[in-house]
Amino acid sequence: MPLLADLTLIIPTYRRPKLLAMLLQLLASQPIRLRTLIADGSVDEIQEQNRISARQYPEAVIHLSFPSTLAIELRLMEALKQVETEYCVVCADDDIILPEGVAQSVEFLRSHPDFVACHGPYYGVSRDPQELHINVEYAVAPIDLSSPFARMLEICARYQSPFYSVQRTAAMVNAFVSPDDVAPTHFWELFNALSVVFQGKVMALNVPYYLRNQQLGDRPEFIGDPNNFIVADAKRYLQEFSGFRNYATRFFRSLSTEDVDWERRIDIAYFLYLSRSIAPARFIWLMEETGMISQGDASTLKERTNLPNAAEIPGEYLMSVLRPMVALGWPTYDS
């Protein structure tokens, strides 16, 4: 079966030889084949297992070896230097990307030069001893407003990371930055998303695109989520926000054709993103999990945060108080 001509798939992997082998086997069985680079940061003995897996598909798969101490962001940046195709896509070693969705995304980008990325729905998959569970992790929508800042606001208002989307390789290169410049927490992912939509529009096709492995479960210590990060270490969160803000301001100012205050725009975009990301119920759960409040207090807080904002209006009494004031022109802004 021929390879999709103008696209390269990058699979970053780290100590998951079984999952990587399963993914490569599945991709090899599909009618559409993807040229693949494995960006391997595993220890030596696992890298050897991964090389053996890659050798089973010599026409499609190249294994790239990196030191196990090299951050995943730097591995991806190095792997991108090996990409010679116009389009590129990333898939995690524990997930599944669907080649048909990838091929349709490439086809769309070929004919729409104002778009820099394209993807489709992401499905979450987990299992228990009885059955397999599939849910919609997020159903993506186009980010296609006319101006770069408007697209940045849109992706912050209804966040959907384009990290695993098919992208023009040049756009992906710009969107990947060193963890020394932007901390490898949710700030790195958000910078990546903002950079993609700054460079162009993002299409969302109604075609199955990506399967996420949800078997890992929820971890309170994971700071890729701002809720977790703020509860775990608010001081560090503020420090890393400052670093993100400074780098993003310089970056977008350097690419922008507009003479505007990019620091202010980054602030506005980020706080819009944060307002949609913070969830009181999750905060309460995290504080209970980390022992900051008791289980009883957590239960009470959950109940009280869900109470409706409603009260009976004592109309007759209030009107008796208000009539003389209304006669004088109240309420008014006139001082």
Residue 134: predicted pLDDT? 93
Burial 177-209 (b: 16+ CB within 10 A, else e): beeebbbbbbbbebbbbbbbbbbbbbbbbebeb
Task: Name the most confidently modeled range: 39-48, 120-129, 320-329.
Answer: 39-48
Give the model's pLDDT for residue 334: 77
Q: Percent of the chain at pLDDT above 70? A: 97
Please state whether beta strands 96-97 and 210-213 pair in parallel, antiparallel, or not at all (unpaired). antiparallel
pLDDT interval class at 67 (50, 70, 90): very high
- What are the angstrom distances between the C-alpha of 230 and each of 14, 224, 235, 269? 27, 11, 8, 18
Alpha-carbon separation of residue 126 from 22, 131, 138, 312 (angstroms): 16, 9, 15, 46
* Rounded distance between C-alpha atoms, residue 108 and residue 103, angstroms: 9
Averaged pLDDT of the chain: 93
Cβ-based neighbours of 25, under 8 Å, separated by 6 or more: none
The domain spans of the chain are 1-94
Structure tokens, 88: 């590129």
b/e map 250-275, b = 16+ CB within 10 Å: ebbbeeeeeeeebeebbeebbebbbe
Query: Tokens 């756009």 map to which residue?
Result: 171
Q: Which fold has domain 1-94?
A: Spore Coat Polysaccharide Biosynthesis Protein SpsA; Chain A (3.90.550)
Q: What is the pLDDT confidence band of residue 1, given thresholds at 50, 70 and 90?
A: low
pLDDT in tens, 145-169: 999 999 999 999 999 999 999 999 9
Q: What is the pLDDT of residue 311?
A: 79
Closest CA to 14 of 81, 75, 99, 101: 75
- How much is the CA Rg of the chain, to the nearest whole Å? 24
Say how many residues make up the chain: 335
pLDDT tens-digit series, residues 226-283:
988 998 899 999 999 999 999 999 999 999 988 999 999 999 999 999 999 988 888 8
> What's the rounded Cα separation, in Å, for the pair 218 and 281?
14
How far apart, in Å, are the Cα atoms of 197 and each of 46, 63, 171, 334?
37, 30, 9, 45
Among 92-96, 147-151, 155-159, 322-326, which is the least confidently predicted range?
Answer: 322-326
Q: What is the DSSP letter of 136?
A: E
CA quadruple 85, 89, 92, 98: dihedral sign: negative
Alpha carbon 258 to its chain centroid, in Å, reads: 27
Say yes or no to pLDDT of 178 above 70: yes
Global pTM reads 0.89
Interval 290-311 mean pLDDT: 87
Identify the pLDDT of residue 177.
Answer: 93
Farthest CA pair distance, the chain: 88
pLDDT of 221 strictly over 60: no
Whether residue 223 is predicted with pLDDT greater than 70 in this model: the reply is: no
CA 312/CA 17 separation, integer angstroms: 63
User: What is the rounded distance in angstroms from the CA atom of residue 246 to the CA atom of residue 244?
Assistant: 6
**Given pLDDT bands bounded at 50, 70 and 90, which one contains residue 130?**
confident
pLDDT at 204: 97
Tokens of 124: 């979450």
187 pLDDT higher than 90 = yes
Which tokens is 191 given? 């910078």
CA angle in degrees (0–180, nearest 5) for 302-307-308: 150
| pLDDT on residue 218 | 53
103: pLDDT strictly greater than 70 = yes
Q: According to the per-residue pLDDT averaged within each range, which of 121-130, 263-272, 279-288, 307-316 is highest?
A: 263-272
pLDDT tens track for 199-211: 999 999 999 999 9
